[in-house]
Structure 1
């Protein structure tokens, strides 16, 4: 099984990335990255999964279950928080874009059929996690405690150039009530260019003694995907001069939708050093827009 999919290796028709549970060899998490030209449109059936349509670059209109959601979007993932639309299972949805763009469809197989909804950018909690060279920004647009889904958990992480994120390494590959939740995870990467030069980073996944014994050390670039069925994941390393973005998509079998993790015992001590250091002054790159009253 290949856990690092370089840009293009998971492409399928209109989708620059198309990772299904079948392709990943697991039960729940899925990701599609849709590219639309100006005036383009795409219709998809949700099937047995719930989906969130998240603009990565550009804006779009999402129609689902008779509702129409206008997504303002953003120029790119390094410039703003985006609004988004939730598409329930068993729905047919259409995404159209007057100016064109790139849109992530984060998905999870689920049982409950929730209503189609709009998620405003102003309601996305922007969290600063870690300090020093472990500082990163997390846009919690569909974290377990911020937006209601049946199974899907999805967040965005921005790591400034030269910093490490997903550190200390952690795992969520076994069910331990109140301590750890079993979650399959997808990482999708983009990088900020510098003087026209593309960025890159590195992703580590090491065996935890559970599941498949996943072992990855990958150089990652724009459009790459890393699949994490199990194992300690982290660090995610951004090279100096290039901010790194990754979209995390998670889902699992537990009845409770929760992000519960275990830190690697050899590196957990790093968290205790964070109060002694300031947060990277480059963060936040941006904040969520103010809510209209």
Structure 2
């Protein structure tokens, strides 16, 4: 049975994913994906939104906000090395021209008129950390954390080894209740290595008014409008995901599911 929370790509070429706040039924987060052959390009105006261009794989020449950043992107797979990205403010335009085969993610959220310049976020600029223990270990790369300049966007990517859980113990961030919890919409763009593998993601609330378990295959996007959202990938298949978050306040404060919080001390 299909789910409104699972967005599958429209193909393997061109503009394959187009998630707007209107289509998602929420307010803040947008996510697009472009697959470009060498020489092909994608270009857009940001308007009243800010954008983070993430080279999932491949190399592209990026022009944004009146600047030419040259060749951006060094890895040929999201499972190899750190990401290379470009931040683009509102009321700007950007263009990406592929030098190799490229998978380009376009993460967007409202621009609040912060007047920030376009900038490259190189592999050397991003921090990495290991979270969890045992089969809950995963590897996190902070592309656009709350400590980095932006109006609304929070962007992070995670690699979860085969047989491990992630976004676990289950946590949520759907209440504007700072300092305890922030309200953030979120997308997960998933990839698997090798690509024929699969994983699972559950999105659910305490009262189970939302409770869906989703089959995750290579290239799909999960929408998380509210609730807890843990993932688990099967043995032999590593799971990559790119998270985009935004809400009324640009901070990530989450609430753990009380019945599973004991795992934090185990």
Q: TM-score range by the shorter chain?
A: over 0.9
Task: Return the alpha-carbon distance in structure 2 between the equivalents of residues 167 and 178 of structure 1.
Answer: 21
Paired residues of 1:135 and 1:165 also in contact (CA < 8 A) = yes
- Name the residue aligned to 1:280: none
* In structure 1, distance between residues paired with 2:67 and 2:157: 26
User: How far apart in 1 are the matches of 2:150 and 2:206?
Assistant: 28
Q: CA deviation at 1:258?
A: 0.7
1:13 CA drift (Å): 8.5
The separation in 2 between residues aligned to 1:101 and 1:154, in whole angstroms, is 19
User: How much has 1:110 moved relative to structure 2?
Assistant: 2.3
What is the CA distance between 1:209 and its match in structure 2?
Answer: 4.4
Structure with bigger strand share is 2
- In structure 2, the residue matched to 1:291 is none
Tell me, yes or no, if the aligned pair for 2:38 and 2:99 is still in contact at 8 Å. Answer: yes
1:249 maps to 2:249: no
Q: Please state if 1:206 is matched with 2:204.
A: yes
1:169 to 2:170 alignment: yes
Are the structure 2 counterparts of residues 13 and 97 from structure 1 closer, same or farther at C-alpha, using a change threshold of 3 Å?
closer
Q: Any conservation in 2 of the 1:60–1:73 contact (CA below 8 Å)?
A: no
Aligned-pair CA distance for 1:12: 11
3-state SS of paired residue (2:23): helix
| C-alpha RMSD of the superposition | 1.7
> Equivalent of 2:232, from 232, 237, 246?
237
Task: Quote how far apart the aligned CAs of 1:28 are.
Answer: 0.6
Match of residue 264 from structure 1:
257
Residue-by-residue CA offset, 1:97-122 (whole Å, 9 max, x unaligned): 12221111111112123210111111
TM alignment of 1:6-45, pairs within 5 A:
6-8=8-10, 14-45=14-45
TM (norm. structure 2) is 0.94
Match of 1:2 in 2: 4
In structure 2, runs of 5+ residues without a counterpart are none
Residue pair 2:13, 2:36 contacting (<8 A) in 1 also: no
Whether the 8 Å CA contact 2:233–2:239 is kept in 1: the answer is yes
Aligned match of 2:218: 222
- Residue among 125, 128, 135 paired with 2:127: 125
TM-score by structure 1 length? 0.86
Q: 1:162–1:240: 8 Å Cα contact kept in structure 2? A: yes
Separation in structure 2 between the aligned mates of residue 12 and residue 114 of structure 1, nearest angstrom: 34
